[in-house]
Amino acid sequence: MADVDRVGLIGLIQDLYAANKDNQTFLHARFGLGEDILKPYKDTISRWICPDVMRNQPISVAKAKKAITDYKKALGQPEGLAELSVFYCEEVFVFLGYCGMDDEGYFDALVRMFEQALKYVMALPEAKRPAFIDRLEQVALQGRNVGWGVGEDMAILLSEYDIDD
């Protein structure tokens, strides 16, 4: 890379940008381009964790989680990580609002993401936490209605972080 001149480097970035949508999303996040750099990541989470069942779209917890990992690689701002992980949890309940689910793996992934969201939120400056905590408490309330021990697990996690739901 040390031998590549400025023009060559710009050309390489242009080629990478044109190659695929994931590269575009990465570069937009890295360079702060666009109005809402989280939108493409949220769209990906929604697509895979809250699919359109009328169009036979499959669910993929792995692909939804990959959006958060991709954001972390591109920019990794703590507030963005908190937003995406909380959004993931919220989207699960959007999906459950119109479609029943009886998949232990899906709910286990939700609880793991809930815990990750708590870690991200609690790592933020104290002044930025309340809105995220409120949203997570709402998720935990909804978790009481799904079975598989989701509500109980979320309550335990909230108490471990000294948050009362």
* Model confidence pLDDT, tens digit, residues 68-106: 999 999 888 999 999 999 999 999 999 998 888 888 999
Buried b (16+ CB within 10 A) or exposed e, 18-39: eeeeeebbbebbeeeeeeebbe
Residues in the chain: 165
Whether the model clears a pTM of 0.85, i.e. scores above it, the answer is no
Angle, CA 136 vertex, CA 112 and CA 82 arms, to 5°: 70
Tell me, yes or no, whether 104 lies in a domain.
yes
Tell me, yes or no, whether 6 lies in a domain.
no
Convert the pLDDT of each residue in 28-70 to its tens digit.
667 766 778 899 999 999 999 999 888 999 999 999 999 999 9
Return the pLDDT at 29.
66
Tell me, yes or no, whether 51 lies in a domain.
yes
Q: What total number of domains does the chain contain?
A: 1
75/24 Cα distance (integer angstroms): 13
Tell me, yes or no, whether 55 lies in a domain.
yes
Tell me, yes or no, whether 144 lies in a domain.
yes
Return the pLDDT at 11.
65
Q: Which domain holds residue 60?
A: 21-160
Q: What is the largest CA-CA distance in the chain?
A: 60
Q: For residue 115, give Cα distances in angstroms to 56, 60, 110, 164.
A: 30, 19, 9, 15
